[in-house]
Copies of this chain bind each other. A is one copy, B any other.
Amino acid sequence: MTISEVSKRYGISQDTLRYYERIGVIPPVHRTKSGLRDYTEEDCGWVELAGCMRSAGLPLEALTEYVRLCREGDLTIPDRRKLLLKQKDILARQLRTIQETMERLEYKISCYDRAMETGTLIWD
């Protein structure tokens, strides 16, 4: 699979795919004899994981560290588990923050709804 195909498949730019590989967010990608990237399904799996984690806002650093541990072998399984647990906790906190902010927005929107009906803006 070429880089342009992978780019389209996951909605990640070619530049970003090369960048991710360069800094270790994904492991080195398989190449053709002439040096062109030729993504295997496994390579694609790493791209998809990176895209998933990034879309949730997790930092590239956490991904590079995870990839590093995976490449080091089974002895790092407890460390990998701990790393993922930490990122999950970060997301759980972010989830609550977003929920609170959404409620806040919904309240303000409802005030504007009423204001547009009655012509009077009543606040907080």
B-contacting residues of A (Cβ < 8 Å)? 45, 52-53, 55-58, 74, 77-78, 80-81, 84-85, 87-88, 91-92, 94-95, 97-102, 104-106, 108-109, 112-113, 115-116, 121, 124
Contacts and interface: CB of A to CB of B under 8 A. Distances in A.
B99 A95 contact: yes
30 contacts: A52-B100, A52-B101, A52-B104, A56-B97, A56-B98, A56-B101, A57-B57, A57-B98, A58-B101, A74-B121, A77-B112, A77-B116, A77-B121, A78-B112, A80-B112, A81-B109, A81-B112, A81-B113, A81-B116, A84-B109, A85-B109, A87-B105, A88-B105, A88-B106, A91-B98, A91-B101, A92-B102, A94-B98, A95-B98, A98-B98
Q: How many chain copies?
A: 2
Contact of A108 (B78, B84, B100): B84
A87 to B, nearest CB: 6
B121 A78 contact: no
A91 to B, nearest CB: 5
